[in-house]
Amino acid sequence: MIFGSRERVELKTPDQVRVMRRAGLVVASALDAVRAAARPGLTTADLDAVAARVIAEAGATPSFLGYEGYPATICVSVSEEVIHGIPGGRVLEVGDVVSIDCGAIVDGWHGDSAISVVLGPDGAVDVDDPSAADGVVGVDGADLDLVRATRTAMWAGIAALAGGKRLGDVGTAVEAAVELAGGVAGVEYGIVEDYVGHGIGTAMHQPPDVVNFRTSDRGPRLRPGMCLAVEPMVTRGSGATRVLADDWTVVTQDGSRAAHWEHSVALLEDGISVLTAADGGRAGLAPFEVVPVALDV
C-alpha cells in the first residue's frame, strides 16, 4: 500500500454521482434483503442467492462476480473470517458474527457497502435494541459490542470527510473511535491494517487508499468529486490476518472474531452524501452533527 502515491484520483461530476447513487441504492436493498433472510440453518450460499436475486431484479450487475476470478455475488465472512469469505456450504449458527460485503454496477458505475450482524435464534439481532443488552440466548454480548464499535468507527470516518482537509483524517477518526469504544467496553480491539478502503467509481477499486488508522502521511487533499469507500475491519483480538488456501478468505491469525462495515461516500461542493445508505447517511451522521446532501435520483 502506498498511501501517499501520486496515482490519479477519478473526480466525478454531479450527474455521475447520481448514477452511483442508483448503484448504491441497489446495494442497500440487497444488503437489507440479506440481513432479513439471515438465520441459523441457512448456508452462506443461501445468502448469496438472495443478493443475486435483488441485484438482477433491479437490472444491475454484481461488482464482485468474476472480479479477478471471484466466484460469487457477495462476500460472506463468518466469525473469525474478516473479509472475502466465499459463499458455499457453511451452515450459519446461533452466535455467529456474519459480515456481508456487496457491490453492484449501474450504467458502468459502482456501489460498494458492507454490514455485520450477530445471529440469534430467530435471525439477526437488532444491536440498537436496548433489550439486546439484557442478553440473547446463544449470543455473546461482546460480539454485539464489536459490531456496534465497528459501525460507529465507520461513521466517524465518514464524518471526517465532511470536516476534514486531508484523507488521513479518516484513519485518525476511525482509530480514535475504535479506541474510545474499547475503553468503554473494557477491551482492546484490533484494527486490521492489511486491508483498507478505496476510491470507487468506474471501477470498484480505485486510488486513493483509505486507511483505518493513524498515519504520519496525511494523504491527498479532500476535493469535491471524490468518491470513497470507508470500511473499517475490527477484531476482538489483534489486527493480524492470514489468507486461507482458497486465496480469498481472510481470517484473524489468533482466531478472534471480526466485524466489517462499509459505505461509499461522495464529496460534493456543498457537503457529503452516503451513496449506499438509503437515507443518504442522515441517521448515521446525526451523532456527529453532520447533515448529508440529499441527492435526487
Confidence class of residue 135 from pLDDT cuts 50, 70 and 90?
confident
Predicted pLDDT of residue 82: 98
Q: What is the pLDDT of residue 5?
A: 43
Contact 271, 291 (CB under 8 A): yes
pLDDT value for 1: 27
Query: Residue 211: CB partners within 8 Å, gap ≥ 6?
Result: 1, 3, 168, 170, 171, 193, 196, 197, 219
107-127 mean pLDDT: 97
Rounded to whole angstroms, how far apart are CA atoms 185 and 182?
A: 5
Query: What sections of the chain are H helices per DSSP?
Result: 14-37, 44-57, 141-163, 168-185, 282-285
C-alpha cell at 152: 460507529
Q: How many CB atoms lie within 10 A of CB 39?
A: 16
The label of the residue with cell 457491490 reads: 103
Q: Helix or strand or coil: residue 222?
A: coil
Position 8 confidence tier, pLDDT thresholds 50, 70, 90: confident
Among the listed residues 265, 283, 285, 284, the one whose alpha carbon sits nearest the alpha carbon of residue 275: 265
Between CA 50 and CA 253 the distance in angstroms is 30
- What are the two backbone dihedrals, phi and then psi, of residue 46, each rounded to the nearest 5 degrees? -60, -40
Cis peptide, bond prior to residue 208, ω within 30 of zero = yes
pLDDT over 70 (residue 107): yes
Answer for the pair 280, 274: CB distance below 8 angstroms, yes or no: yes
Residue 240 grid cell: 493480524
Please report which confidence band the pLDDT of residue 285 belongs to, taking 50, 70 and 90 as the band edges. very high
pLDDT at 133: 62
pLDDT at residue number 162: 96
Average pLDDT (57-62) is: 98
- Determine the Cα–Cα distance for residues 240 and 249; give it in Å rounded to an integer: 14
Domain layout of the chain by residue ranges: 14-288
- Above 70 in pLDDT, residue 151? yes
User: Is 131's pLDDT higher than 80?
Assistant: no
What pTM did the predictor assign? 0.95
What fold does the segment set 14-288 form as a domain?
A: Creatine Amidinohydrolase (3.90.230)
**Quick check: 259 pLDDT over 60?**
yes
Average pLDDT, the chain: 95
Q: What is the mean pLDDT of residues 211-220?
A: 93
Is the per-residue pLDDT at 2 higher than 60?
no
CA 214 to chain centre: 19
pLDDT at site 4? 36
